[in-house]
Amino acid sequence: MVNFWDSNIWSLLLLGGMLFASMLLAHILKRNIPFLQKSLIPASVLGGTIILIFTTIYKIIFKETFFELSIFSIINTNEDASIAMTGSAILETITYHCLALGFICMAFRSGKKDQGKKRAIEIFNTGVTTVSTYLIQAVLGLIITLIAINFIPGLNAAGGIILALGYGQGTGQALNYGTIYETQYGFIGGANFGLAVAALGFLSASIGGVIYLNYLRRKGKIKVSNVEDVEELNLEAVQGKNEIPLNSSIDKLTIQIAIVVCVYIFSYFIMKLLGGIVGEGLRATIYGFNFLIGTLLAVCIKGLLSFLRKKNIVKKEYINDFMMNRIGGVAFDVMIVAGIAVIDLDVIKQYWLILIIMGIIGAVATFLYIYFVSKVLFKEYKYEQFFAMYGMLTGTASTGIILLREIDPNFATPASNNLVYQNLPAIIFGLPIMFLASYAPQGLTQTWITFGIIVFLLILLLIILFRAQIFKKKNKVTNQK
């Protein structure tokens, strides 16, 4: 029998309400506090930080974790009334699912592809830059943790790879692998470690990006715009040619959400099948790829719908880019605020020094590398490419767009499209990293083997990325002889 006053009925809604309320509060603060406006910190990051500060103070005063209160937890209905799932676990679950839902929405977007050999090369180079940055972050992170394991108990030697996941891929992936490292390989506080790294990444993107923006503006090299007033919306974005109507027997937005959710549910059954095949040892890894399986499935469904449209079997366009962007934006906002809110600073207090070291080194290395690549390979729009890539590779693609819009409000340069279309080469080159991230924590020997493979892959990708410069110089030397 369902009692509507039971906490089970309200726990998820209460948690969701807190997440959305924190984002509303963060938005109000950003609109009214000049410092926060200039910082470019996303409202979701600020909202999560507000909750984190509150829950930390609560734990100091009352000596208990705020999200483990019964009002936020799902309680067993049997006689012992034990907690089946705490609020913290529910927030981690929200973070996990929102990552995949956001990626599925991104995969469904179409957009107009840039034509020409030069643009194809730039998009390819952007994808290679993305993956090579992951590898640099992973190498630096592994160096730090391979040294730190001699001094910090409970730390997994492979934990440094989380720097690439937290900075390069964001909150969801950092939580996914942090949880795997914690539950499967004994990394104490691994999930919170991953979330903390991701949070530091957002700070690096927001604060570091703003400092460099202001520096360039003072030097007169760029002109900064007001991002709050640049976005324009026309009816065609919401209701394109030959698309299903906004309101018929079912709302157009409902159909978009239904498509995304159905793809994700189908992804679950694929993961369940693969998990049964690979066995218990690799099951966690398979489910950690929820975002990738969902993305690939969405690409297949999009291709199928396009084929059926050409054959005139499906009469109308069902996918709307504007609405997919909005759904994806909600998913990523919720993912970020939940991921930061659930951090338990008490669990990772023994890691505070290594987190600061990793955070600073990761930010500086990413900054310098992206600056060099943008200067050498994207000379015509080096600053736009830099801010888009730096924001994405310390936060998320949304963070990159936020920084980019400061100097390119109308997306006149190809930098924004580079972020969209680089996903295919990035997935192709980046897939081995996902498997290495699952292999590395199995033991110290496996970590060192992973380190060696990552260094080899990094050298290979650097040769591919700077192929024109390397072989051009080689040809010049040959001709001189």
User: Residues 456-469: pLDDT tens digits?
Assistant: 999 999 999 998 88
Going by the DSSP 8-state scheme, the letter that residue 243 receives in this structure is: B
Say which range, 46-50, 237-241, 243-247, 293-297, has the weakest mean pLDDT.
Answer: 237-241
Provide CB contacts within 8 A for 365, sequence distance 6+.
Answer: 136, 137, 140
Q: What is the mean pLDDT of residues 155-183?
A: 87
Would you state the pLDDT for residue 25? Answer: 95
Into how many domains does the chain fold? Answer: 1
* 365 located within any domain: yes
User: Residues 99-132: pLDDT tens digits?
Assistant: 889 888 878 876 555 556 787 888 899 989 999 9
Query: In which band, very low, low, confident or very high, does the pLDDT at 239 lie, cut at 50, 70 and 90?
Result: low
Would you state the pLDDT for residue 315? Answer: 78
Would you state the pLDDT for residue 205? Answer: 83
Would you state the pLDDT for residue 232? Answer: 56
* 135 located within any domain: yes
Q: CA distances (Å), 146 to each of 141, 158, 277, 321, in order?
A: 9, 8, 33, 44
CB neighbours of residue 85 within 10 Å? 17
Provide CB contacts within 8 A for 405, sequence distance 6+.
Answer: 225, 227, 230, 411
* 91 located within any domain: no
Would you state the pLDDT for residue 451? Answer: 96
Q: What is the mean pLDDT of residues 221-248?
A: 65
Query: In which band, very low, low, confident or very high, does the pLDDT at 2 lie, cut at 50, 70 and 90?
Result: low
Q: Quick check: 135 and 461 in contact, CB under 8 A?
A: yes
Q: Is 75 helix (H, G, I), strand (E, B) or coil?
A: strand
* 19 located within any domain: no
DSSP letters for 192-225: HHHHHHHHHHHHIIIIIHHHHHHHHHHTTS----
> C-alpha dihedral over 364, 373, 103, 417, to 10 degrees?
130
User: Residues 336-352: pLDDT tens digits?
Assistant: 898 888 888 887 888 88
User: Residues 434-444: pLDDT tens digits?
Assistant: 788 888 999 99
Return the percentage of the chain with pLDDT > 70, whole number.
Answer: 88
Give me the chain's average pLDDT, please: 84
* 361 located within any domain: yes
Burial group, residue 447, by CB count within 10 angstroms (0-12, 13-18, 19+): buried
User: Residues 402-426: pLDDT tens digits?
Assistant: 788 778 776 678 887 787 677 677 7
DSSP letters for 330-355: HHHHHHHHHHHHT--TTTTGGGHHHH
* 61 located within any domain: no
Provide CB contacts within 8 A for 347, sequence distance 6+.
Answer: 188, 189, 192
Report residue 340 as tokens: 């930061």
Burial group, residue 285, by CB count within 10 angstroms (0-12, 13-18, 19+): buried
Instruction: Name which residue leads in pLDDT, 313 or 347.
Output: 313
Query: In which band, very low, low, confident or very high, does the pLDDT at 64 lie, cut at 50, 70 and 90?
Result: confident
Say which range, 40-54, 64-78, 349-363, has the weakest mean pLDDT.
Answer: 64-78
Which residue type sits at 174? A
* 102 located within any domain: no
Kindly report the pTM of this predicted structure: 0.78
Task: Tell me how far the alpha carbon of residue 439 is from its chain's centroid.
Answer: 21
Q: How far apart are CA 172 and CA 392, in angstroms?
A: 14
Instruction: Name which residue leads in pLDDT, 383 or 413.
Output: 383
Would you state the pLDDT for residue 371? Answer: 95
Burial group, residue 312, by CB count within 10 angstroms (0-12, 13-18, 19+): exposed
- Domain containing 182: what range? 116-225+347-473
Say which range, 376-385, 397-406, 447-456, has the weakest mean pLDDT.
Answer: 397-406
Highest mean pLDDT among 22-26, 151-155, 415-419: 22-26
Would you state the pLDDT for residue 264? Answer: 95
* 339 located within any domain: no
Return the percentage of the chain with pLDDT > 90, whole number.
Answer: 30
Instruction: Name which residue leads in pLDDT, 379 or 427.
Output: 379
* For residue 13, pLDDT beyond 60: yes
Q: What is the mean pLDDT of residues 156-185?
A: 87
Query: In which band, very low, low, confident or very high, does the pLDDT at 323 lie, cut at 50, 70 and 90?
Result: confident
Which residue type sits at 9? I
